[in-house]
Amino acid sequence: MDIEQLDERLAQYGDEIQLDCRMDQLNVKEKVGDLATIRHKWVARLIRARRDILALERKRKRLIQEAIDLAKSQRHGPVDFSDRAIAAQCATKPAIVTIDEQTANIAIIVEYLEKVEKVFQAMGHDARNLVELIKMETT
């Protein structure tokens, strides 16, 4: 995921969140009933984003290990590089840099979705308060 895709996804999420959070006296009962489903949708997206980070981290680790194994198999002469030195050199390779950038971008999405999840937690309390207010106004 590059920076443009990140911006697009965040904008899309922002639009969806506006729709999911919209609540007034006319739709409060419907929204309260749907709140668990809406919250589940956002938590599922959070879990998927975390899973994507784990997959990228595994891929990064695998690529570095492959580079270490290749370097070890091609060693000729008295010079011997440590695994750590080879891994550090790999960090500048385009494939690793791309993975690091993708991981950072998805980490932003994870942070955003964690905050969204907290908003929906609080929204449950707000919805109950609104229902109580409506009850008090109608009696």
Distances in Å between the Cα of 33 and the Cα atoms of 8, 122, 131 are: 30, 15, 12
Q: What is the largest CA-CA distance in the chain?
A: 90
Condensed to tens digits (0 to 9), the pLDDT of residues 14-67 reads: 999 998 888 777 777 777 778 889 989 999 999 999 999 999 999 999 999 999
Has residue 138 got a pLDDT over 90? no
CB atoms within 10 A of CB 9: 18
State pTM to two decimals: 0.80
Higher per-residue pLDDT: 69 or 136: 69
